Amino acid sequence: MIQSIVHIALVVNDYDEAIDFYTKKLHFELVEDTYQPEQKKDGW
């Protein structure tokens, strides 16, 4: 049974709104904030 989430990555339209929602409402911890240029569309 899964007991925790270790790592997730999200792509969102409104970055500041998403940070607010996930950190303040869901109490997730933002541990890394990495700039991704708009032209980079790859995801693995």
Residue extents of the structural domains in the chain? 1-31
As to burial, measured by CB atoms within 10 angstroms (0-12 exposed, 13-18 middle, 19+ buried), residue 28 is middle
pLDDT tens digits, 3-39: 888 877 777 888 889 999 999 999 988 888 887 777 6
Q: How far apart are CA 43 and CA 38, in angstroms?
A: 13
pTM of the model: 0.59
Phi-psi region of 27 (alpha: psi -120 to 50; beta: other; left: phi over 0): left
| DSSP states of 1-44 | ------------S-HHHHHHIIIIIS-----------TT-----
